Each structure stands twice: as C-alpha cells, then as structure tokens.
Structure 1
Amino acid sequence: MSFAWAKQYEPKTALTKWLDEKLPLPRLVYNAVGAGYPVPRNLNYMWNFGVLAGFCLMIQIVTGVVLAMHYAANQAVAFGTVEHIMRNVNWGWALRYAHANGASFFFIVVYLHIFRGLFYSSYKAPREMIWLLGVVIFLLMMATAFMGYVLPWGQMSFWGAQVITGLFSAIPLVGEPLQVWLLGGFAPDNAALNRFFSLHFLLPFVIAGVVILHIWALHIPGSSNPTGVEVKSESDTVPFHPYYTAKDGFGLGVFLIAFAAMVFFLPNALGHPDNYIEANPLSTPAHIVPEWYFWPFYAILRAFTGDLTIPFTGIVLIPAKLLGVIAMFGSILLWFILPWLDKSPVRSGHYRPLFNKFFWFGFMPTMVVLFIAGGAPAEEPYVLLSQVATAYYFLHFLVILPIVSQIEVPKPLPFSITEAVLGKDKAAEASRTGTVDGGDAGTLPDGSLQPAE
C-alpha cells in the first residue's frame, strides 16, 4: 500500500547511499516495518499474533537445524539419538523442549490469528489473497508438525504415522498404492522415517517463503483494523515504527515469559507419555491420539461412524472412513472459499450484531467441543459430541454465515478510523460534506483541508 503522506527513506551517509543504490535492503525494511509503512492507528493486541507467528517460525527453524545435527533418521537408533540429545548434548534438553513446545505455541498463536481473522472478516476484499496464503501456511504447518511428531520414534510417533497415512487407503482405487508410496513400504519403517525427516527439515523453509508472500500481499491493501473501515486520511494512520514495534515488543515479551515457563517448568505438559516408550509395531497403545493441535480435525474424522448407503438396499455409496477423510480435509479447504461465502459489506464483527452472536455462542463453543472430543477416547458421549459439533461447524460456514450476511442489519459504522478512536472527526466530516463552518471547503494538494472564505 502506498500513501502520499508516507515518510520516504533518505540515506544519510555515503555508505548508506551507495548501499541504497546497489542493494536497497535498508529501504525495503524501512518501507516494510519502519516509519515508511503507515498502519491504522486503532490496531489492538489481536494484531500482535502475526509477528508472534513469525517469531515462532524462527524459533522452530533455528532449534530444528541444531537438533538435526545430532539426530539420525534410522529406526534402529532414532529413539536413542533423541535420548542422546536430551542427556549428552550441551543444552540439548533445552533445544528439544524449545522445539517441541515451540510447535505448540506456534499453533496457539496461529489459531488465535485465524479466529481474529474470522471475527474481523480479514478475508474480505481487497485482502482475499492474504487470507488464501494464510490457509496455505496453515496446511503446510500441519504437514510439517505431523512429520515432526513421527521423528522421536516413540509409540505415538509410530502408531500416529500408521493411522494418519492409513487414511489415504480410504480413497477408492488409488488409496492403498498411495499409502505405500507415502511410507515407502507397507508400514512405517526406515523409508518412512527418512522421508518424513527430509520433508520435516525442508517444509519450514517453504513456509518461510509463503510467509514472505503473505506479508507482500498484506502491504498491497494494507492492514485491516477493528472497525473494518478503510484508511481515508493521514490522521487515520501512524508509522509502524516506533508505535507498533513497541506494541509488538511488549506482546513478544509476554509471549516469551509464557514460553519460558512452559519450557523450563512444564516441558512435557502438552506431550503424550507413551512417546517416551520406543516404537513397537507389536504393541498397540490403548488410545492413539495425535498432538493437541490436530484434535478438532481428528474429531471431525471420527464423527462419521456409519456408511452412506442407498436407502432400503444396503448398497454402500461412500464408506464411513472415506466420509471422515473428506470431511476432515473439507473442514479446512472450505476456508479457501470463505471470502465468497460471506457477502456482508461490513467487515468487523463489532458492527454485525447477528454475526457476533453466532460467532461467540455458536462457532467458538463448537471449536471448544471439537478440541475436547478430538483428544478424548472414541466412546460416548464424545462420539455424539463430535458429531453434533461437526454438523454445526459445516452449517456455520455453508449455511448460517451466507444467510446472516444477507439478512442482518449492521450497526452504523464510524466515518473514519480517527472518529472511532478520538470521537467526531470534524475535519473528515467537513471533507465529506465540502463545508467548514457553513462555507465551501476544498482540499489542498498536500491533502489538508482548505479553509472556507
């Protein structure tokens, strides 16, 4: 996004002038996250999560590269090398705990980032591409996290790989060959471990590339804001630095306190104790469960317990397993069409009373139920809860949201961001009406208001 009032980068010394001419990296940083990037003045702390997600990605890449120096992707020694890292490598325990808990914190931050985007309709025009790239990042994160969970080669690692790759066998005709191709064999072993390790190491750098595209797409229309009103004048914005670098710095400090507390005092709280038992293909755990950040989609997968059949014939059209797989992937893929499902011209949920109620009293409780049901055993009442929550999840996006966007009467929007923050914006009102104190007013070339004569 380019504003006429944005402060321009001006190199001061001979060295910075030469660098700006040959490789304008300082100018790029200045325009991306510095005083040259105007941002809406009313962003709250829900807008901190993008920066925090980027910081989490950096933690994962740095700790992951160091851990890879000591890890061996071989089923005979993989479990032992993890223990070697924990016991013998200098600060290996801290690196491993930071990496394992960093994945959980990464998903916490991204889930909050997504829920903020859903409430404030950050997927609406002109920011559709930002949202679509964000969904791609989320899918890449899920693939990376799944393969990373396999690497410690504990019981949950082995059986998680067996169950998740087994989902592909539900696809008619090509399912079983696809599963064998993914694993490199008929069960998780050396081939699968090597493939997953290679991809787990590579995909974070792919994520970093998509994040760059995500930020690039963000800078074209500029950041959204809690009112959903677009920037109209210089008074609606402040420079990203120092205002939001300070705000993001405070948020980062709070995040690091929570992260350090988890790493040093509760390092295994979000893990599964069975993963400290070496993988054994002959011993199936009583309750196979993925990491907590997969639970909502695992609950959707398990919600389908019956085949889709032709009534009164018993002929199976779609087996229950395939229905679950379709629903699990569909629950994320429908986010790609979300910008076109919500037709409301108003973005912010604060000004959409009906949408607000369905979001806080329908969608959010549904997500809580899916999280709980996904981590619970496949028994009653959790199966019924997951079925009801799954039905409402798809109903919310495919039926409720389009209908609400057509029938609700939104609250009056503020004329400008400045008005939402500081109260009545007299200059903006005068600019809109073309009068100041009853006289005619014009706009000067610099954007300021010309007084009436």
Structure 2
Amino acid sequence: MRIVKKNSLFSSLYQTAVTYMVPSNITYLWNFGSLAGICLIIQIITGIFLAMHYASNVDLAFISVEHIMRDVNYGWLMRYVHANGASMFFLVVYVHIFRGLYYGSYFYPRQAVWGIGVIIFLLMILTAFMGYVLPWGQMSFWAATVITNLASAVPVIGNDIVCWLWGGFSVDNATLNRFFSLHYLFPFILVALAGIHLILLHEVKSNNVIGTNTQFLDKIPFTPYFVIKDIFGLVIFLILFFYLVYFDPNLLGHSDNYIPANPLVTPAHIVPEWYFLPFYAILRSVPDKLGGVILLVGAIVILLVMPFFVKAQIRSSQFRPIKKILFWLFFFNYLLLGWIGGQPVEFPFVEIGQLCTSFYFLYFIFFLPFIYILEINFWNENKITINNNDKKFNSFLRQYNNKKN
C-alpha cells in the first residue's frame, strides 16, 4: 500500500474535503459558500464557450451575440446560463455576506477571511459590469458611458483616467476590447482569491450559529455529513436556476439591451443590472458627482475595514436582541435601496434614497459600535454572574472530556 506524505497535495485536498472538522450546529445558510464556488465554475465554463464565437468589435459585437443565440448549437443555452448565472452568483454571494453579518463571521480571528471575501465581491462587481457591456446593446453602451464617466469626478486627473479607460475620447472599439479582455481574465483571478479564502477559512475554522469558540463545540467530519447537505442545497439551487434559464430567461434582464447600441439615442431611463441597484441608489443619493463616487466606494470599503473597529463580546446576533433588530432593519433598508436604484431620479425616490443611504453608513459607523458599548456596560454590571457561569461551563467541559477519553 502506498503511503501518502502528510505534506503532499493529495493529503491536503483529502484533509480539506473529507476529514475537515466542522461545528455540528451550522445550518443550510453555510451552504452558500460552496454554491458560490459552483456558480464561479459555471460562469468560467460557459464564458469560455461564448468567447469562441464572440467578436469584440463595435460593428460585430451585437450581431455575434445574435449569432450565438440563433446559429451556434446550444448557443442560446450557453448564453442564458451565463447571463442568469451572473444573477444567481450575486444572489448566492449576497446571502453569504448577510449570513456573515448576522452571525459575526468578520470578528477575530476571521478578519482576513472576511477581507478576502470583500475583495472577491468587489472583483465580482467589476467583472459583471464589464460583462454587461459586451452585448453592445443600448443599455450596455450607456451604462458603460455613465459609469466610466464617474472617474472624471477625481480632481485634476479625472479626465485623463476616463480617456485611459475608454482608450480614446469616447466609448468605442478600444473600450469594448479592453472590457472583453479583462472580463475574460478576472474570473481566473477570482479562482485564486477563492482558493486563498478557503485556505484562510480552514486555518481559523468555520464560524457557527451561536458564535462561540469552536474548540468548545461538538464537531463532525465535513464528509459525508455536510457533503449531503451541500448536495441537497445544490439540487434546490439548480431547480431555481434552470427554471429561469428554460422558462423565463429574460426576467432579470432589460429589454433595451436587445436594441443595438446607438450613441445618438439616450434611453429614457438608464439602469444597471438588479445586483448593482443598491449601490446605484447610493451613488445617486448625492447631487454632487464626486460626493456620489466617494459614497459608492465607501459602501464597499466600509465592509472591508469593519472588522477592525466593530467589536462584540458575543459574535452571533442570536443572543444580541438589539443587534438582531438593527440587522433586519439594515437588511430591509438594503432591499429598499435596490428598489430605489431602479426608480427615476425624482421626488420622492431621491429623498427616500438619501435616507436609506444614511442608514446604510450609520449602521456600520454608529449603531454597531454603540451596541457594543451598551453590551460592555451590561457585562460589567453582571461580571460576577458571568464569571461563575464561565467556571461552571469550563468544569462541565473538563468532566465531559474526561468521560469521553
């Protein structure tokens, strides 16, 4: 029998996928990390096949997409899987992020895991935006024009940055070529970042529902117990996914993107894809372009730096009633931002968007730290009781481990 060295690649993969010990109390909400990985694989595979038939030229791009849909064998399937796969990818990642916010997966020692996750989310946004431009329909062209023009808000060098992004003095062939190249490249960078994300996670171990230190919890191997849960979650996911692909493939798209790009005709209402709408609402909440860009970037950056200024005695919101209420307010506020992002820039949508944007930032900057101060005061007032409970709990653990050994 061949003996595999402990430091071999096979041994590392075996430990990662089979013998990795996971807290037994985690729920189906933890499935969304593996679902995100599956979505990324689907996007890469379908993207490679689509790139074989796509022409990154302003005169041919729209026609090449129609050629894929009408003439290439199963081209319609590849295109619809890729387009709806982007929506499903963002849906899965949003659930993954909100689960992390609810259960405190960003606290020590998982700051690096959370930080890499936010960088992955940012790269996803850039990749999806550039992919949205490639069909070269009306909404694609004008979305590229509006979003790239935001760089002009940067003082002094803003216009130079815009010309560099465009590759000229307008959104044209050079722009399309650049976006196509980067859209093809970024998913492979995402794979590398996802690998780092997974390695870091396995170093510090998974968080759990009650938010306690995992060394005090009962653990079971990832295989077969959580593999079965992941497979069940995947089946449910694929049912929803292929319902969209086969029965309503254009539900999440925009009809204007089936009109060839025309620089002389501006659409009545320029809107991005649904997964960009909350950030688009934040961008529009400030009349000043530079202020809107700062808030737009800040909405992502605040997620990245949050673990370093938000603290708590208990990670999970399960045992923090005030935090739980504020979390659900934040969640519905985010949904409201998404709705506002799809509405015209007029009263009362602008005013509602400004209120929602204010709550978005106050949640991280003020409410979360303030809750921590309240909890600190509570813990200090009940210090003796807590210490006694800790001693009883540790004594119980020692007795349990002795019996187990």
TM-score (norm 2): 0.93
Matched, 1:382 2:365: no
Counterpart for residue 319 of structure 2:
351
Q: In the alignment, is residue 30 of structure 1 matched against residue 14 of structure 2?
A: yes
Q: Distance in 2 between matches of 1:68 and 1:22?
A: 40
Match of 1:292 in 2: 274
Equivalent residue for 1:221? 204
CA distance in 1, matches of 2:339, 2:212: 36
CA displacement at 1:300 relative to structure 2: 0.5
* 2:271–2:342 Cα contact (<8 Å) kept: yes
Decide which of 191, 194, 198 is 1:211's aligned counterpart. Answer: 194
1:262 equivalent in alignment to 2:230: no
Counterpart Cα distance in 2 of 1:23 and 1:126: 25
C-alpha offsets along residues 55-96 of structure 1, whole Å, 9 cap, x if unaligned? 000000000000000001000100000000000000000000
Q: Which residue does the alignment assign to 1:334?
A: 302
Aligned equivalent of 2:83: 100
Shift of 1:232: 2.7
Structure ranking higher on relative contact order (CA contacts 8 Å, 6+ apart): 2
**Aligned partners of 2:236 and 2:295: how far apart in 1?**
37
1:65 counterpart = 2:63: no
Question: Counterparts of 2:313 and 2:199 in 1: how far apart (Å)?
Answer: 25
The answer to whether residue 22 in structure 2 is matched with residue 39 in structure 1 is yes
Between the aligned partners of 2:201 and 2:168, the Cα distance in structure 1 is 43
Given candidates 90, 110, 129, the residue that maps to 2:112 is 129
Which amino acid in the other structure matches residue 343 of structure 1?
A: K
Q: Deviations over 1:178-202 (max 9, x none)?
A: 0000110121111000000000000
What is residue 5 of structure 1 aligned with on the other side?
none
| Structure-1 separation of matches of 2:323 and 2:396 | 32
Query: Residue 292 of structure 2 is aligned with which of 309, 324, 336?
Result: 324
Tell me if structure 2 keeps the 8 A contact 1:150–1:158.
yes
Superposition pairs for residues 188-203 of structure 1, below 5 Å? 188-203=171-186
- Aligned equivalents of 1:242 and 1:22: distance in 2? 22
Alignment-mate amino acid for residue 311 of structure 2: K
The structural deviation recorded for 1:428 is 6.9
Aligned equivalents of 1:302, 1:132: Cα separation in 2? 27
> For 1:48-447, what aligned pairs fall within 5 Å after superposition?
48-232=31-215, 236-305=218-287, 320-360=288-328, 362-408=329-375, 409=378, 430-432=395-397
Could you tell me which amino acid in structure 1 is paired with residue 373 of structure 2?
Answer: Q
Note the residue ranges of structure 1 that are not aligned, 5 or more in a row: 1-12, 306-319, 413-426, 437-442
> Which whole-Å CA distance do the structure 2 matches of 1:404 and 1:88 have between them?
59
Q: Structure 1 or 2: larger helix share?
A: 2
Q: Distance in 1 between matches of 2:265 and 2:311?
A: 52
- Could you tell me which amino acid in structure 1 is paired with residue 160 of structure 2? P
Deviation at residue 373 of structure 1 after TM alignment: 0.3
> Secondary structure at 1:383's aligned position in 2?
helix
- Offset, 1:364: 1.3
Q: Which moved more, 1:100-109 or 1:182-191?
A: 182-191
Q: Which has the larger displacement, 378-387 or 196-205?
A: 378-387
AA aligned opposite 1:260: F
Q: Write the distance in 1 (CA, Å) between the matches of 2:351 and 2:313.
A: 37
C-alpha distance in structure 2 between counterparts of 1:340 and 1:406, whole Å: 16
Distance 1:23 1:230, change over 3 A: closer
Instruction: Give the aligned partner of residue 314 of structure 1.
Output: none
**Which residue is 2:387 aligned to?**
none
How far did residue 448 of structure 1 move?
3.7
3-state DSSP class of the match of 1:238?
A: strand
Q: Identify the residue that residue 421 of structure 1 maps to in structure 2.
A: none
- Secondary structure of 2:22 counterpart: strand
User: For the structure 1 residues 159 and 29, does the alpha-carbon distance in structure 2 shift closer, same or farther, using more than 3 Å as the test?
Assistant: same
Tell me if structure 1 keeps the 8 A contact 2:149–2:162.
yes
Contact 2:143 2:272 in 1 (8 A): yes
CA shift at 1:431, angstroms? 4.5
Partners of 1:160 and 1:448 lie apart in 2 by 62
Tell me how many residue pairs correspond in the alignment. Answer: 392
User: What letter corresponds to residue 325 of structure 1 in structure 2?
Assistant: V
The one-letter code matched in structure 2 to 1:207 is: L
Shift of 1:397: 0.7
Contact 1:341 1:401 in 2 (8 A): no
Cα RMSD (Å): 1.8
Give the 3-state SS of the residue equivalent to 2:371 in structure 1.
helix
